[in-house]
């Protein structure tokens, strides 16, 4: 298999020729294309100021997209069942990387948190890989212990233990947003697998006070909660981002101000090419642009769920469902944040926002879904 992959002239073309779901592939590529355009538009002014090159973020994102497509093609060509052998090596490797971030002076700090490891000219965000490692572990373990899922001690507790093993170092970075994503991923996958709903409700009741403590322990997090309730009470502080996100979305109207003509990206929205790029998209492409992107995400999620339901065995079902959740859950949260429906979190919009680790994981998820779809022998 390795030799076949290496000799393939183009992983993407080969994957497309045997892909079980071309609509899934097209939606992912369309979102990545929109992301490239928006990264250039949203980040050009900031890139010119920081790096004296308005295309800096665009060129970097183009490399990220290329690497992601190659990874997607390789995974789509593989038999997804072979991924099971990488479950524990990936889990241990990601855990080691997360713990390494906690060593003073090792990780790279940005925005008050240590979330990146520098690997020469490259940077890696282990928390992004933690999503993939968690999904692979849960898919593998749940498929092997399906008959024990109703048991608290044998079905629920071991999976929660591994989940919190990843969540704790992520929360210590600190990264509450990604911690919530990991918890939601595990809870939803356990629910899909058939865990007792009463156990999951009890877990939520147990975790909620912990989250509240993590919020009030950091004053800036508590200010974000207050800003979510009424951003105009602190318009120049914690409410600044969301207010200018409202301005961007509101001024976009039906058709938008035009690509490149947005104003809020001009040093009003902090880091407009990452967390709040969806606001810039709304300002420049209008309501129709927003609906187009949300429609592409909806199409991707629908196809992902269908692939999961039609997989040949439980490992494929859980793996496809987890891969779909990684993309769909984060897209939902990011859209909710920029629209003021959820408190501000440092989470990117899949495929759209600037970021190499995030793009790599998203494309890997699509590659896994394509492999499961091809393995099920179904037609789109």
pLDDT tens for 8-49 read: 444 444 444 455 689 999 999 999 999 999 999 999 999 999
Across residues 319-347, what is the average pLDDT? Answer: 94
Tell whether the model's pLDDT for residue 351 goes beyond 60. Answer: yes
List, for residues 262-296, the tens digit of each pLDDT value. 999 998 888 899 999 999 999 999 999 999 999 99
CB 265 within 8 A of CB 330: no
Across residues 56-81, what is the average pLDDT? Answer: 96
Longest dimension (CA), the chain: 61
Distance CA 269, CA 277 (A): 9
The confidence score (pLDDT) of residue 19 equals 58
Domain ranges of the chain: 21-126+226-376
| Lowest mean pLDDT across 81-90, 168-177, 371-380 | 371-380
Tell which residue, 248, 321, 320, 344, has the closest CA to residue 76.
Answer: 320
Distance CA 312, CA 18 (A): 17
Across residues 236-264, what is the average pLDDT? Answer: 92
CB 130 within 8 A of CB 182: yes
The confidence score (pLDDT) of residue 18 equals 56
pLDDT band at residue 219 using 50, 70 and 90 as cut-offs? confident
Distance CA 211, CA 180 (A): 9
Dihedrals phi, psi of 10, to nearest 5 degrees? -155, 110
pLDDT band at residue 4 using 50, 70 and 90 as cut-offs? very low
Distance CA 144, CA 135 (A): 14
Please tell me the number of Cα atoms within 13 Å of 111 on its side-chain side: 14
Across residues 94-117, what is the average pLDDT? Answer: 84
**pTM, two decimal places:** 0.91
List, for residues 357-368, the tens digit of each pLDDT value. 999 999 999 999
Those residues whose C-beta lies under 8 Å from the C-beta of residue 48, and which sit 6 or more positions away, are 54
Tell whether the model's pLDDT for residue 162 goes beyond 60. Answer: yes
pLDDT top residue among 344 and 128: 128
The confidence score (pLDDT) of residue 107 equals 79
The confidence score (pLDDT) of residue 378 equals 45
């Amino acid at each position: 298999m390795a030799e076949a992959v290496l000799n393939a002239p183009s992983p993407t073309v080969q994957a497309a020729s045997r892909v079980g779901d071309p609509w899934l592939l097209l939606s992912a590529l369309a979102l990545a294309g929109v992301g490239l355009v928006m990264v250039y538009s949203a980040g050009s002014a900031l890139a010119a100021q920081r790096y004296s090159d308005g295309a800096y973020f665009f060129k970097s994102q183009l490399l990220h997209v290329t690497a992601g497509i190659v990874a997607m093609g390789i995974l789509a060509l593989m038999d997804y069942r072979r991924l099971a052998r990488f479950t524990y090596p990936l889990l241990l490797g990601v855990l080691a990387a997360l713990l390494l971030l906690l060593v003073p002076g090792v990780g790279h700090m940005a925005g008050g948190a240590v979330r990146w490891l520098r690997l020469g000219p490259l940077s890696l965000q282990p928390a992004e890989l933690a999503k993939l490692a968690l999904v692979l572990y849960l898919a593998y373990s749940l498929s092997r212990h399906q008959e024990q899922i109703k048991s608290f001690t044998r079905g629920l507790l071991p999976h929660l233990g591994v989940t919190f093993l990843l969540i704790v170092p992520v929360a210590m970075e600190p990264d509450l947003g990604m911690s919530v994503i990991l918890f939601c991923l595990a809870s939803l996958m356990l629910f899909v697998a058939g865990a007792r709903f009463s156990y999951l409700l009890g877990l939520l009741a147990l975790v909620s006070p912990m989250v509240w403590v993590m919020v009030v322990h950091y004053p800036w997090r508590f200010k974000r909660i207050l800003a979510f309730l009424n951003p105009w009470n602190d318009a120049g502080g914690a409410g600044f981002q969301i207010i200018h996100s409202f301005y961007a979305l509101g001024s976009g109207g039906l058709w938008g101000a035009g690509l490149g003509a947005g104003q809020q990206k001009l040093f009003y929205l902090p880091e407009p090419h990452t967390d709040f790029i969806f606001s810039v998209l709304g300002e420049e492409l209008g309501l129709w642009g927003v609906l187009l992107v949300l429609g592409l995400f909806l199409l991707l999620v629908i196809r992902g769920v269908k692939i999961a339901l039609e997989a040949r065995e439980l490992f494929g079902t859980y793996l496809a469902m987890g891969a779909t959740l990684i993309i769909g859950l984060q897209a939902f949260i990011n859209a909710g944040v920029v629209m003021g429906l959820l408190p501000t979190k440092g989470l990117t919009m899949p495929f759209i926002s600037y970021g190499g680790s995030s793009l790599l994981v998203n494309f890997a998820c699509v590659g896994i879904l394509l492999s499961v779809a091809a393995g099920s022998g179904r037609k789109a």
